Amino acid sequence: MTPEGSILSGEGLHKHYGRTPALDGADFSIHPGEVVAVLGPSGSGKSTLLHCLAGIVRPDSGSVRYDGRELTTLPDAERSALRRRDFGFVFQFGQLVPELTCLENVALPLRLNGAKRKAAEATAREWLARLEVDDVHGKRPGEISGGQGQRVAVARALAGHPRVLFADEPTGALDSLNGERVMTLLADAARDTHAAVVLVTHESRVAAYSDREVTVRDGRVKEPLAGL
Amino acid sequence: MTATDRRPRDRTDRPAPAPRTGLGARLGDLAMGVRFAVTGGREGWARTLLTALGVGLGVTLLLAAASVPHLLQSREDRGRARTPADAAQTVHRADNTLLTATADTVFRGDTVHGTLLHPDGARPPAPPGVRDVPGPGEMVVSPALRELLASPQGKLLRDRLDDRITGTIGDAGLVGPGELTYYAGSDTLTTEAGAHRVASFGARSEAEPLDPVLFVLLLVACVVLLTPVALFIATAVRFGGERRDRRLAALRLIGADARTTRWIAAGEALFGAVCGLVAGAGLFLLGRQFIGAVTVWEVNAFPADLTPVPALAALIAVAVPLAAVAVTLFALRGVTIEPLGVVRNAVTRRRRMWWRLPLPVAGLGILLLAGEFQQQDEAAPPFMIASGTVLVLLGIALLLPWAVEASAARLRGGPVPWQLATRRLQLSSGGAARAVSGITVAVAGAIALQMVFAAIQGDFMKITGQDGRRAQLNLSLPTADVSTTRQMISDFRKTEGVRAIIAGIEADAARPGPRRTGEPFVPRTQFTVGDCPSLREMARIGSCRDGDVFVVHDSTGMVDDAYIGQTARPGKQVIFNLDSRTDEPDGPPRLWTVPKTARTVDSRKDPAGETRFGIFATPAAVDTGLLAAPVARAMVRTDPRVPDAAEYVRNTAARIDPLMSVDTLQNLQRDKNYASVRTGLLIASAATMALIAASMLVSMVEQLRERRRLLSVLVAFGTRRATLGWSVLWQTALPVGLGLALAVAGGSGLGVALLRLVGKSDPDWSVLWPPVATGAGLVLLVTLVSLPPLWRMMRPDGLRTE
């Protein structure tokens, strides 16, 4: 059953990598504009849950519904198109294309969606300014700091006005000061654009930016008990 | 004092170990690098495997090239060993002699080497690989011929070689395992019929010296074919460099200095190179087992023939690991491995042209200084030619990274795949340039060689004057009486697939009577008897009926026409049996009167390219019994709708006389050595091109592997496969395009210099296109083949970090 009013939901998700179970009947849902932190220890299945929800991997069984559409049965091309149009992504590291400048990196999803280069770069420049990294627009990822790189990645994820933003350990490689600044900017920008955010983290400090927390343990999602 | 009390003081008192220096330290670093490669887990082994695969492919080709001298020598030795000894000298008949005659034939384009043997006594010498000389009606055959004769495809040949097979020729008697060879016993051979008496086999003839121009071509071909291999090996030892550098940064963190990390990296490359050496040797040994099954342009060899020259093999064994170490140290000179990471990306050191350009210029200069030689006896300066060519080709390979970088820096805008590709090249063009340097050098070399080939082929092609449209086969009919000859011609005429026979029975005709004052000898001319269609192929006779006679004058001016006129006089007699030494008839005079009605006509070249003249008579006009020592000539026009017509004709010829040769009429004949060099070059080019394709593919896969995570991220946010596919194509095509442009420029320059060397000055520019097209095709092929791994690496697995 799809939770009432949710934009994205997963139900009874199972996923194995070889013999190792990553998800074992996980359920999840998120509403538009909501920021949900997915917590859990290393290897608990957090990232796999994110990948299944984003249509990056197909679960072995279970259902993923986005905006009323079943994602698990969509062909690869349609899932790719959906990710281009409606989703945004921030990962822990290695996500910026090293040969493109920061401006071109941010403009890339827009261009993949068919935007003209100049228009895409104008939007990208706005987002770089919003994320306070407009001064690095002409630099390549190898020439900027980790914190700047993550802000560029957040700008890229939000530049296409996604309806759902998937952030997988977005501050995992940053020091606490940079991490908090990135999270503040990410959460504010997401709320401004009314984007739902699936925030995978193992840090409660980061999870504090969310509206709701769920915990993944042994491939299952557990909601905290009310009042606790 | 307890031991515990002592410990801190001991540690303080102990002098700090002096940092290791010198050769020992470097060897230690190398050994550590080897250990890292072995114990580096899946990542380390994947890198080693790729390097080993790349180096292994190169080493296989190098070992194959190092085996060529032994291969050629072995084939030559076996060929000589079975050639009858003393064939030119007179050998007296004895118990241990035999008569031999060559009875080669052709079957569907393949030569079948045949020898007839007729023992003089009880102890005839056996050819190599033959245990017992076959008796009449028996033959021993090579394994390949035995197989062919036993197969349905060989049925036609079986009709020709119908002797009983009594044995198989051993390897010692064969030039190659695929050779079609037989020895057949005979009891009719005579020296008069062209057989040679021999007492043993094994010719001592010297090999024909190679034309200096062909020598230059061979030398340049070796350089052209092996330079890409060397470049590829240098590229292969750098596979996975970026990941390795990141690991080395961790070593810096725990105290290794920059030099140590470089030598450790060299150690890793050394291990990969040694693995590649072993893999290459293994591939070579494995591959040569199947060499016998491969026949390219009628050339094949036994596995044992493919044995590298020991000195060259040792050179490869030493040079490849050393090159791996040297290339790694050289490559790392521009990389700063710091404890917190590799700062290569942050430092943009622009490539300079000034030190790259002098190399090809110097190469061209050396070639131009080498001078010009055209004479057979003039020696080509091998060192200058080889070093000049190497410098030009290496110069092109060195210019390529600069050209790619300089050109990529100017590229702006474009769609996403183009932008991804150009930005990638702008950030780091070295890998892409290295990947295509092999093809650039190969194409440049191929252009230069093709230019030389195109320019000199006229010198090595003989226009035979034969006309393969008017007749396709030329028969050397054995000498026989006229009625037997007529029977032979009739047999050919009845053969399947024969449309017409152009035949003539020829004899001499002289003017009767004594020599006249001032005449050095009695005038004489040719006398040819043939039917009207045959005579029409030899002279412009116009209308013709049986009984007609023609006086044919030589229209080429090659023959002193006066003798024809003085002999062939309408209404006057000629004599057929006038002995030229005594000017007397050999027996009762055989006289014949040239009819008054004989028409005078001009000759025309027959389909075999020869000019006949004198008196032409149709059969009803002359009693051929009068002719003295008549010789028959025949050419066959076959029916193109019967594909095996030539084989039927050869079968008929073999039935009449196994020694009768049936030759194909062809307009052009290539010099044997020239053909060999060109054939060898084609074989080697195919091998090099295959290696280049493999190397580009391995390089491409390696590049993709390095970017696996990035590809997964790009897929995560919805990048289309086509977008990445096109970006891969552009990423390869741009450097290749630049490489090909450089190859055209450099190859043309090299070609012009080489042309000057062989005394030619008129380049044929049309030869540029085939190598360029091959290069471009190769890029497309490599891109297509690299798409499946690209799709695989675009799977989301790359996003997993746990």
What value of ipTM does the predicted structure carry? 0.79
- Greater confidence (B770 vs B182) lies with B182
Instruction: Give the pLDDT band of residue A30 (cuts 50, 70, 90).
Output: very high
Rounded to 10 deg, the angle between the A146-159 and A117-130 helix axes is 130
Q: How far is B332 from chain A (nearest CA, A)?
A: 18
Residue B8: what pLDDT?
A: 43
Report the C-alpha gap between B277 and B513 in whole angstroms. 85
CA-based nearest residue in chain B for residue A153 = B713
Q: Give the Cα-Cα-Cα angle B497, B500, B506 (nearest 5 degrees).
A: 130
- Greater confidence (B214 vs B203) lies with B203
Interface of A with B (CB under 8 A): 17, 42-43, 47-48, 51, 54, 56-57, 77, 80-85, 87-89, 91-92, 94-95, 97-101, 104, 108-109, 111-112, 117, 140, 142-143, 157, 168
Residue B228: what pLDDT?
A: 73
Specify the 3-state DSSP secondary structure of A102.
helix
* Average pLDDT for B531-535: 91
Nearest to B94 by CA among B124, B68, B114: B124
Nearest to B727 by CA among A103, A101, A123, A99: A99
Contacts of A85 in chain B (CB under 8 A): 718
Together in a domain, B65 and B124:
no
On the question of pLDDT at B718 being above 50, the answer is yes
Together in a domain, B497 and B632:
yes
Contacts of B427 in chain A (CB under 8 A): 98-99, 140
- What tens digit of pLDDT does each residue of B424-455 get? 888 777 777 877 787 788 888 888 888 887 77
B717 and chain A in contact, CB less than 8 A: yes
| Residue whose entry in the numeric block shows the structure tokens 């493109």 | A100
| Residue whose entry in the numeric block shows the structure tokens 């079986």 | B158
Together in a domain, B690 and B646:
no
Rounded to 10 deg, the angle between the B769-793 and B721-757 helix axes is 150
* Cβ–Cβ pairs < 8 A, chains A and B: 87
On the question of pLDDT at B243 being above 80, the answer is no
* Nearest beta carbon to residue A56 from set B419, B420, B716: B716
Together in a domain, B361 and B326:
no
CB contact under 8 A, B427 and A108: no
CB contact under 8 A, A112 and B718: yes
| Residue that finishes a domain, picked among B666, B698, B730 | B666
Instruction: Give the pLDDT band of residue B369 (cuts 50, 70, 90).
Output: confident
CB neighbour list of residue B416: distance below 8 Å, 6 or more residues apart: A108, A111, A112, B723, B727
- Greater confidence (B11 vs A202) lies with A202
Lowest mean pLDDT: which of A104-108, A211-215, B785-789? Answer: B785-789
Contacts of A140 in chain B (CB under 8 A): 345, 427
- Greater confidence (B761 vs B202) lies with B202
Residue B336 is assigned to a structural domain of this protein = no
The arrangement of secondary structure in A8-95+162-221, i.e. its CATH architecture, is 3-Layer(aba) Sandwich (3.40)
- What tens digit of pLDDT does each residue of B45-81 get? 777 887 788 788 888 888 888 888 888 888 888 988 9
Residue B700 is assigned to a structural domain of this protein = yes
Q: How far is B318 from chain A (nearest CA, A)?
A: 38
Residue A166: what pLDDT?
A: 93
CB contact under 8 A, B420 and A57: no
Residue B331: what pLDDT?
A: 75
Of A212-216, B268-272, B792-796, give the range with the top mean pLDDT: A212-216
* Average pLDDT for B24-40: 80
Pure H helices in B499-559: 532-536
* Average pLDDT for A99-125: 90
Specify the 3-state DSSP secondary structure of B108.
coil
Residue A102 near residue A136, CB atoms below 8 Å: yes
On the question of pLDDT at A82 being above 70, the answer is yes
Report the C-alpha gap between B551 and B553 in whole angstroms. 7
How many domains does chain B divide into? 4
Report the C-alpha gap between A159 and A80 in whole angstroms. 17
Which of B345, B707, B799 best probes binding to A when mutated, by most A CB atoms within 10 angstroms?
Answer: B799
Together in a domain, B60 and B126:
no
Residue B447: what pLDDT?
A: 84
Lowest mean pLDDT: which of A84-88, A96-100, B543-547? Answer: A96-100
Residue B576 is assigned to a structural domain of this protein = yes
Report the C-alpha gap between B263 and B28 in whole angstroms. 9
On the question of pLDDT at B548 being above 90, the answer is yes
Residue B17 is assigned to a structural domain of this protein = no
Contacts of A84 in chain B (CB under 8 A): 717-719
* Average pLDDT for B327-344: 66
Domain span at residue B736 reads: 350-461+669-802
- Sign (positive/negative) of CA torsion A179, A80, A102, B241? positive
Residue B326 is assigned to a structural domain of this protein = yes
Residue B208 is assigned to a structural domain of this protein = no
Domain chopping of chain A, boundaries: 8-95+162-221
On the question of pLDDT at B1 being above 50, the answer is no
Percent of chain B surpassing pLDDT 90: 19
* Average pLDDT for A127-145: 90
CB neighbour list of residue B402: distance below 8 Å, 6 or more residues apart: B351, B352, B353, B356
On the question of pLDDT at B342 being above 90, the answer is no
Lowest mean pLDDT: which of A61-70, A194-203, B9-18? Answer: B9-18
Residue B4: what pLDDT?
A: 41
Instruction: Give the pLDDT band of residue A92 (cuts 50, 70, 90).
Output: confident
Contacts of B802 in chain A (CB under 8 A): 42-43, 47
Averaged confidence pLDDT in chain B: 81
Contacts of B346 in chain A (CB under 8 A): 142-143
Together in a domain, B686 and B624:
no
On the question of pLDDT at B5 being above 50, the answer is no
| Residue whose entry in the numeric block shows the structure tokens 């011609």 | B489
Instruction: Give the pLDDT band of residue B564 (cuts 50, 70, 90).
Output: confident
| Residue that finishes a domain, picked among B635, B666, B697 | B666
Nearest to A161 by CA among A64, A32, A2: A32
Structure tokens at B559: 């023959």
Residue B479 one-letter amino acid: T
Mark which residues 604-663 of B lie under 8 Å from A by CB. none
- φ and ψ at B611, to 5 degrees? -105, 125
Residue A72 one-letter amino acid: T
On the question of pLDDT at A115 being above 90, the answer is no
Report the C-alpha gap between A163 and B544 in whole angstroms. 99
| Residue that finishes a domain, picked among B647, B666, B685 | B666
Q: How far is A84 from chain B (nearest CA, A)?
A: 4
Residue B3: what pLDDT?
A: 41
* Average pLDDT for B237-256: 67
Q: How far is B346 from chain A (nearest CA, A)?
A: 6
Residue B538 near residue B581, CB atoms below 8 Å: no
Residue B732 is assigned to a structural domain of this protein = yes
Instruction: Give the pLDDT band of residue B734 (cuts 50, 70, 90).
Output: confident
Residue B94: what pLDDT?
A: 86
Pure H helices in B40-142: 41-81
On the question of pLDDT at A1 being above 70, the answer is no
Torsion of CA A189, A193, A196, A202, to 10 degrees: 0
Residue B673: what pLDDT?
A: 64
Beta-sheet pairing, B662-664 with B473-475: antiparallel
Q: How far is B709 from chain A (nearest CA, A)?
A: 7
Residue B109 is assigned to a structural domain of this protein = yes
- Greater confidence (B669 vs B621) lies with B621
Nearest to B760 by CA among B459, B329, B476, B320: B459
Together in a domain, B173 and B52:
no
CA-based nearest residue in chain B for residue A78 = B718
B336 and chain A in contact, CB less than 8 A: no
* Nearest beta carbon to residue B799 from set A56, A97, A100: A56
* Nearest beta carbon to residue B796 from set A51, A92, A117: A51
* Nearest beta carbon to residue B718 from set A81, A140, A143: A81
Contacts of B799 in chain A (CB under 8 A): 47, 51, 56, 91, 168
